[in-house]
Amino acid sequence: MPNPCPTCILTESVFGGRLLWGIGGVLAVLILLDFGTADAQDLPAPSVETDTFTVGEAVRHAVRHNRALQAARQAVPRTAADLQAAQSERFPVVQGRADYRRLSENVDYSVDLPGLPSGSETVTFAPALLDRYTFQARIEQPLFSGFRTQRAVEAARHRMQAARSGAEAKEADVAYRVQAAYWRLYETKARRGAAAQAFRQIDRQLTDMRNRRTAGTVTESDVLRVEARRAALRLERMQAAHAVNQARLSLNAVMGRPADAPVAIDDTVTLASVPPDAATLVDQALQQHPQLARLRQQQQAFDAEVGQARSGWYPQVRLLGSYLFARPNERLFPFEDEFAGTWEAGITASWSLSTGGRTAARSERAEARRTQATYEREHARQQVAAEVRRQRLAVLQSREAVAAATVAVNSARSAYASVRSRFQAGMVVTADLLDAERSLRQAQARLAGAQAAYATARAALDRALGATQ
């Protein structure tokens, strides 16, 4: 076995006592935590079938099962029913009526006529028919409503289209949230894997250090350093496992799955082509973003409501018709105890000459809502343009970060292999080996974070563009 390097001997001789006490105290705490806390990874996992998703499959599952998205979609049939109700105002209203009435016994259509040559005489104008039966059908057809019906139909149609665009915007938002949760789970699993790999390496290194201590080639402080690092790595591995569980809960929640359902991911981060220039992306977003389409349809709906409110200034014209089949038919005189039918037809026009300012107030309110919708739409266009530019820059920066992190991992892996071989030859101290291991683990964690940030930035750019799966 090679002799300890002079630096090791010098370090041990100068700092031996204080270093042993300091590392020993820290190690005691970490060992208690090491053996006093159960790591979920060390327990046998129950045999439960795990659903595996690519990012696209996860988004499609969420689109089918996300409760918030399903609630948003219900606005479409609701507004479609409102449109059908508005269109029904164009059709005639047909009503039917049937009734039976029994009159009191004192009903009498007879009168005494005095002054006749024969004296007073009782004259009966109509028989007292106490049982009355009536069947009536009535039809009413709007002819002119001051454009109220036409404007109401236009407003309802625009609201229905706005509801569809709103559902599409919600779907895009859910797709982004799924992808963000998916890549967060990817990052935490990568960090957990790096921590687990480092823990296995430190386990082998600890075994080797203890053998070297027995052979007298390393000091007790070197072994204590490795033991302290092992306990710290075990804690880090437990924290990484907890982060994975939290990320899994978030992904299940946004996908509409049970919170404790096992889930596995089956995608890796690949660098896509560089996005087009900002002006092209902004134009694309302004044309296809569902949120802008929703605001545009709302503005048109408010514009139609202005005309609907102004309809109060115009007359209302209706065509009327009815048919009466009654026993007795009171439209015929004298009354007869038999069924008879009569009909009537006509046209009616009504005009509200004064409403106390109600029509003017409704018009002003509708105009104010239209103006408000115009400003909201312009503000949203500015926000979308700014968000597209911001997310494009985020994609470019995260793309560069992935490339830099990949180089850093390769360099750190090569450096760790070199330091380890030199440590085996007794050319470097234990601290150098532990530093190299830490640098490799940190580089792997940074790469996982950069990859997740890049994938999330791509998803955010898609959402800013208004793209849906």
**Residues contacting residue 124 through CB under 8 Å, at least 6 positions apart:** 109, 110
pLDDT at 112: 73
Give the Å distances, CA to CA, from 292 to 134, 153, 159, 375, 376.
Answer: 58, 22, 14, 12, 10
Residue 120: its pLDDT value, please?
64
91 pLDDT band, cuts 50/70/90, is very high
What is the per-residue pLDDT for 119?
A: 57
Region at 119 (left for phi over 0; alpha for psi -120 to 50; beta for the rest): left
The structure tokens listed for 33 are 């935590």
Model confidence over 239-270: pLDDT tens digits? 999 999 999 999 999 999 998 899 988 888 88
Name the fold adopted by 6-12+21-38+49-102+130-465: Outer membrane efflux proteins (OEP) (1.20.1600)
- pLDDT at residue 42 above 80? no
Please report, for the chain, the start and end positions of each structural domain, with discontinuous segments joined by +. Answer: 6-12+21-38+49-102+130-465
Q: Which of 128-137, 158-167, 187-196, 354-363 has the lowest mean pLDDT?
A: 354-363
- Picking from 276, 267, 288, the residue whose alpha carbon sits closest to that of residue 455 is 267
If one compares 71 and 27, the residue with the highest pLDDT of the two is 71
Helix (H) or strand (E) run with residue 58 in it? helix 55-65
Rg (CA), the chain: 42
pLDDT in tens, 398-412: 999 999 999 999 999
Q: What is the pLDDT of residues 169-211, one digit of tens each?
A: 999 999 999 999 999 999 999 889 888 888 888 888 888 888 8
Q: With a cut of 90, say whether residue 43 has pLDDT above it.
A: no
CB 286 within 8 A of CB 419: no
* pLDDT exceeds cutoff 90 at 71: yes
Residue 172: CB atoms within 10 Å: 22
Tokens 């190690």 sit on residue: 27
Going by C-alpha positions, the residue among 282, 262, 77 that lies closest to residue 167 is 77
Q: Tell me the C-alpha to C-alpha distance, in Å, between residue 207 and each of 85, 238, 426.
A: 80, 22, 16
Q: How confident is the model at residue 469 (pLDDT cuts 50, 70, 90)?
A: low
